[in-house]
């Protein structure tokens, strides 16, 4: 959408995503992130951002990360609803999380040529958002 709206080349668009919470990174809690996009930008930027407490991975699959990064926010809204409607039932929340992760894995397999490289970071990003996002 950024490419279509602005005309900026896909080669010059990057995605930076969790699993992390900004305030926790600020307080130097251990965290990691992934940066996605063209190699010419993502590799040096990942190296620049990397800190002892903030590990930055890189991946070329910009579109899948962007789609799933948005989707996990929708899941977080649903998680809040499940928590409120079930009086914080751990069982209900775990069932909801299982459904969310199954759907994310399925969608990742549709979008990506190498979904196994994405599953861990995407699911971790979803988990942290459901906990605190």
pLDDT at 119 over 80: no
Active site residues: 72
Domain boundaries, the chain: 1-132
> Which pLDDT value is given to residue 133?
57
> Which pLDDT value is given to residue 17?
87
The number of angstroms, rounded, from the C-alpha of 88 to the middle of its chain's C-alpha atoms is 24
Q: How far apart are CA 115 and CA 94, in angstroms?
A: 23
> Which pLDDT value is given to residue 55?
92
CATH fold of the domain at 1-132: 1.10.1040
Taking CA atoms, 119 is separated from 19, 109, 114, in Å, by 12, 9, 10
- pTM score, whole prediction: 0.77
Helix (H, G, I), strand (E, B) or coil at 16: strand
For residue range 49-104, what is the model confidence (pLDDT) as tens digits?
A: 999 999 999 989 888 888 888 898 999 999 999 999 999 999 999 999 999 989 98
> Which pLDDT value is given to residue 18?
82
Least confident of 94-103, 106-115, 117-126: 117-126
């Amino acid at each position: 959408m950024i490419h279509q709206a602005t005309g900026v080349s896909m080669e010059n668009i990057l995605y930076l995503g969790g699993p992390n919470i900004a305030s926790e990174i600020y307080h130097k809690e251990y965290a990691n992130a992934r940066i996605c996009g063209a190699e010419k930008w993502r590799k040096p930027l990942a190296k620049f951002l990397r800190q002892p407490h903030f590990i930055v991975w890189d991946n070329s699959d910009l579109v899948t990360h962007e789609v799933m990064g948005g989707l996990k926010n929708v899941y977080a809204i649903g998680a809040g609803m499940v928590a409120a409607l079930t009086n914080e039932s751990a069982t209900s929340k775990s069932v909801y999380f299982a459904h969310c992760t199954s759907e994310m894995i399925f969608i990742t397999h549709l979008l990506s040529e190498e979904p196994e490289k994405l599953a861990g970071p995407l699911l971790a990003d979803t988990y942290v958002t459901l906990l605190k996002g």
